[in-house]
Structures are given as structure tokens and as C-alpha cells.
Amino acid sequence: MRLLFLLFPLLLAACGDGSPKVNINVGSPAPAFLAVRTDGGMQDFPTAYAGKPLVIRFWADWCKYCEGEMKAIDNVYRRYHDKGLEVLAVNAGQDAKTVDAFMRRIGVSYPASLDENSAIARSYGVVGLPTTFFIDARGTVRGKVVGEADEATFERQALALLQ
């Protein structure tokens, strides 16, 4: 029993990687990142989206809620893209071939970027998929949805960004 008390702090310390926990919420500046798109080009945030509202969607093809929601997001994107709304799907942990095949199969019109080692997801504090951030034209997080949501929720958040 005494050995357990001595080992417990060591076991607890081994559970973490020692890095500070990230908690990106409403009002936080959105972390910058550079990622490869599925078409091979580079995606530079915030530079590529300066002055534009952006929805960043973290997802993976194994996520049972992601496909339907990505289609719902596409409906909102198509309605408001000409008003300035941008959407970027950031895949957490999968390779380009898998991501490209999934995006083609579901037929969404917004771009996807790769986050093969999930570094971008970690910088945003993503702990589960799907997770969506609504970022205003100044790069500030104005909304966050963790888990499943419907098209009306995405539209409400997108309209708030466009105000």
C-alpha cells in the first residue's frame, strides 16, 4: 500500500505530456497555422483570410457525426459565401489520400486542409471531433461548437459573424 502512495504521483505525471493545456473559447484570438490543402497548396491562417469571417471545422472520416454536419455546413457556406463567409475543414490525424477521397465522396464545396499529426487541433484545444470554431474578420473566436449540431446552429453562428 505504501508503494502505491509513492508510485501514484509518478503515474499521474506520466499521464500528461507536460505541455500546458490549451483552452480556446469565445473572445480568444484564433491561433495561427500553416497547413497543406488536399490540392497540395498551402493554407496560411490568418493571412489567407484577413478581413473575412471564417468557420474552422475539425473532423475525421471515422467521426460518425462529421459527414452529416459537413454537408449542413456546406449548405450554409453556399448561401453566405458570396456575402464573405469562408469555411475551412481541418482534418485531424489522417493522410491526404483519405481526406481527399472523403471530401470528394460527400461533395462539399469548401476546402480541406491536413493536420496529419493533429498539431493544429491541439493548438486549438480540440479534445473531440467534430469541433467547430467561428472566427470573426479580426481573427477572434466568436463561437465554438463541440460535438454534434444542426444546420440552424451553424447558420445562426455564421450570420452573427457576418453582422
- Tell me, what CATH number does 119's domain have? 3.40.30.10
Residue 2 within any structural domain of the chain: no
Residue 39 within any structural domain of the chain: yes
Mean pLDDT of 77-100: 97
Grid cell at residue 61? 472520416
pLDDT at 125 over 60: yes
Task: Name the pTM for this structure.
Answer: 0.86
Residue 19 within any structural domain of the chain: no
pLDDT at 3 over 60: no
Q: In the predicted model, what is the mean pLDDT of the chain?
A: 88
Sign for the CA dihedral angle at 59, 26, 141, 84 comes to positive
Residue 118 within any structural domain of the chain: yes
**8 Å CB contact between 131 and 139:** no
Domain encompassing residue 68 = 24-162
Residue 10 within any structural domain of the chain: no
DSSP alpha helix (H) spans, the chain:
2-15, 66-80, 96-106, 119-123, 151-162
Residue 84 within any structural domain of the chain: yes
Distance CA 33, CA 123 (A): 9
Q: What is the pLDDT of residues 9-59, one digit of tens each?
A: 333 333 444 444 678 999 999 999 999 998 889 999 999 999 999 999 999
pLDDT at 5 over 50: no
- pLDDT at position 16, please? 43
- pLDDT at position 23, please? 84
Residue 64 within any structural domain of the chain: yes
Grid cell at residue 81? 459565401
| Phi, then psi, of 137 in degrees rounded to 5 | -65, -15
Distance CA 108, CA 61 (A): 14
Mean pLDDT of 127-153: 95
**8 Å CB contact between 56 and 126:** no
Confidence of residue 143 (pLDDT cuts 50, 70, 90): very high
Residue 126 within any structural domain of the chain: yes
Number of domains in the chain: 1
Spell out the residues 6+ positions from residue 1 whose beta carbon is closer than 8 angstroms to its own.
Answer: none
Q: What is the DSSP pairing of strand 86-92 with strand 54-59?
A: parallel
